[in-house]
A = this chain, B = another copy of it.
């Protein structure tokens, strides 16, 4: 069935994966349906926020019935594009790259890690958790031959900038950027940044602010 999907605000997109996570937990606990009131308590957001967010997708809730957990879970999965497999490579086989490669949750959600890449010849040729570490000169051909959609960059800042420049001439559709820099790529490539330094600075700010230090 083909239906037009309207543009959804980034604010809602930020929240959708969290709905998806809670729905997955309800599903694992064999919960068939949930009222927006109960869902609201569980997630710690208002019932009206839940209704507003989920009504963007045509409204799954029925008066007096609540939400059908399985349907809503599958529908949000479809909206997020995780109802199919995405092929992923990780560039940078350091601690972070290996941590990502070993994270089984990604595979479960349809993100299939096809290779690690590293410029260190000591690492190339080894495998990590069953995933091979390849040399950088294999990057372009590997992306094309394996329909790689997503490249995770777990490399230093200057390398990430160089890599973004190489990746823009490949079929890569998304960069998952762990380097502490913004990347300049064409609009056809989506960048999702995970800036850990910024995250810990927000934590620092909020600790300071919560403890009421004024000086």
- Tell whether, in the assembled complex, residue B205 and residue A194 are in contact, meaning their CB atoms are under 8 Å apart: no
- Tell whether, in the assembled complex, residue A207 and residue B150 are in contact, meaning their CB atoms are under 8 Å apart: yes
Give the docked Cα–Cα distance between A82 and B205 (Å).
8
This chain: how many copies in the complex? 2
Question: What string of 1s and 0s marks CB contacts (under 8 Å) between A42-73 and chain B?
Answer: 00100000000000000000000000000000
A208 at the interface (CB under 8 A from B): yes
Query: Within 8 Å CB of A16, what residues of B?
Result: 201-202, 205
Residue of B nearest to A191 (CB): B203
Query: Within 8 Å CB of A81, what residues of B?
Result: 204-205, 207-208, 213
Residue of B nearest to A15 (CB): B198
Shortest CB–CB separation between residue A189 and chain B, in angstroms?
8
Residue of B nearest to A190 (CB): B206
A142 at the interface (CB under 8 A from B): no
A81-B208, A86-B204, A206-B13 given; A192·B197 CB < 8 A: no
- Residues in A lying within 8 Å of B, measured CB to CB: 2, 4-5, 7-8, 13-14, 16-18, 20-21, 44, 79-82, 86, 94-96, 98-100, 102-103, 105-106, 109, 111, 149-150, 173-174, 176, 180, 182, 187-188, 190, 192, 194-211, 213-215
